[in-house]
Structure 1
Amino acid sequence: MKPQLLLAFLLLSVCAAVAQDSIETVRSPHWNYGIWADYGNGLGTRSDVHIGGAGFRVGRVLTNEHGSNWMRGTFEYDIDLTPVEIYHFPKYTEYSGPYTILWPSRNYYTGGLNPFVAKWNFTKGQKWVPYIAAEGGVVFSDGNMPQGDTAETNFTSGAAFGAHRFVSDHGAWTFQGKVFHLSNASIGNHNPGVNIAMQFKIGYTWFKK
């Protein structure tokens, strides 16, 4: 075999080995840690609500691979912490009996915790690992949110979809979209909330034993 062909064969073999190993950390129990930035927007009648912030995640792949073909994957459980999130609500009209109150627009500075992130990783690929997740959490704001006689504590629930793009054996860029609902669960006298919102995240995730 010519030296050039031998070198090309060796390089292809190394690349193939790297590709095969690149997502092994999602195919068996491993810890992962991630950081992200996000942007979200209300939908429908709440399309003028805007959300932006940053946070981090700690999680663990709990199982080895199960299933076959495109459904093959692993189960993961995560916890998200969002120390910095700004919610912008436009001016809001509140009707209270015979009175009408016009609240001005306001930015809310919030922190949040998602203690429930149940995820399924699809592990058939070599570089890309798509996933779906169910999420639930709580948001604490610096005032009643939205404006009016509502509450400083709100709850979120939703479904996420995304993918890791592995760039090394233990690191991946992470892209995620999430559809969620925001509500104070009627712990305030009024519960206008946000029926449905869409949020996008981009971040980086590290995987380790």
Structure 2
Amino acid sequence: MTPTAKSVLFTLVVLMMVTTAARALPLDSDAAANIDSHPLSPVETARQNKSWEYGPFVNWGTGVGDRSDFKFFWAGFQLGKPLSPVVHAGILSGQFELGGNIMPLWQAYTPAPHQQEYVCAGPSGQPVSCLLPVGGGTFRGVSLTPVILRWNFLTRSPRIQPWFQGAGGLIYTTHKFPPNLLSFDGINGGTSVWNFSPQGGIGVHYFTRARQSIDLGVNAVHISSASLGDRNPGVNASIQVQMGYTFWR
């Protein structure tokens, strides 16, 4: 198992343990005293008031499979609001939330421009080996995720709010991304400056105080141009770890 896979697995296990503990453990004496002195805990306040949540976040990620040499760094601002009352459905009990985010800072780090060996058509039409340039380096852009569908789980914890989500976004880069790939006949197959980013993941809010929380999430993100360019190599899968700070109003 690669170091990246181990770190992702470890993060997922920690999130699952936090969720399980939040459901199963009784409140400690400090938490119980806090609830006695205040009618609602931070989680209950956000849940019952259907509070708006907003705040900044940073994101680090890595491609997997044939894109394991791709790295990502993003930063932006997220907004969301619970829309439904708490739905009681056993272990799936929770509340539906609609959100979105914008990332003015979107960067992808790919292998530097280099030459790669390809099979090309020779003068007589016979295949020959040739070296052709392949683009690469750092790509910059912006991203908008207008739809985040999130399910906030119902737990007994006064401070921990776990969730899972699905989302869809749009990415614009100043140069075609992924790096232009060359076909076997040596024609530069342009990708696109526009890409789409369907994704899904899990995470947790940890309320440090009333109406403020530290957030940790892990998302699996697919990046594809939907064949807007001559080619659509995309990034079939990437793992993105997100950290943020949220205010609730």
Question: Would the TM-score normalized by the shorter structure come out above 0.5?
Answer: yes
Q: Shift of the alpha carbon at 1:150?
A: 0.7
Distance in 2 between the 1:115 and 1:96 partners?
43
CA distance in 1: counterparts of 2:31 and 2:60, whole angstroms = 40
2:34 to 15, 31, 48: 15
* Corresponding position of 1:118: 149
Q: Tell whether the 8 Å contact from 2:225 to 2:234 is kept in structure 1 after alignment.
A: yes
Structure 2 match to 1:3: none
Matched residue count: 199
For structure 2, the 5+ residue unaligned runs are: 1-28, 122-129, 181-189
CA separation in 2, counterparts of 1:144 and 1:94? Answer: 22
Moved more, 53-62 or 13-22: 13-22
**Higher share in helix:** 2
Paired residues of 1:34 and 1:56 also in contact (CA < 8 A): yes
Is 1:193 the counterpart of 2:212? The answer is: no
CA distance in 2, matches of 1:206, 1:12: 21
Provide the rounded CA distance (Å) in 1 between the counterparts of 2:88 and 2:228.
Answer: 42
Structure 1 counterpart of 2:76, which letter?
Answer: G
Q: CA deviation at 1:70?
A: 3.1
State the AA in 2 paired with 1:194. Answer: V
Q: Which residue does 2:246 correspond to in 1?
A: 205
Cα drift, residue 14 of structure 1 = 3.6
**Pair 1:76-2:107 in alignment:** no
Aligned to 1:6: none
SS in 2 for 1:27: helix
Structure 1 alignment gaps of length 5 or more? 1-9
Residues 97-144 of structure 1 show CA distances to partners (whole Å, capped at 9, x for unaligned) of 748632143101110000110000012232111100001000000111
Structure having the larger proportion of residues in strand:
1
Alignment of 1:165-204 (within 5 A): 165-204=206-245
Whole-Å Cα distance in 1 between the matches of residues 198 and 119 of structure 2?
A: 28
Structure 2 SS opposite 1:138: strand
Letter in 1 for 2:149: A
In the alignment, is the contact (CA less than 8 A) between 1:27 and 1:123 conserved in 2? Answer: no
Q: CA deviation at 1:164?
A: 0.2
Q: 1:23 to 1:187 in 2, by over 3 A?
A: same
Partner of 1:134: 166
Kindly indicate whether the alpha-carbon contact (under 8 Å) linking 1:27 and 1:73 is maintained by their aligned counterparts in 2: no
Q: Which residue of 1 aligns with 2:62?
A: 41
Q: What is the SS of the residue equivalent to 2:87?
A: coil
Deviation at 1:24, TM superposition (A): 2.0
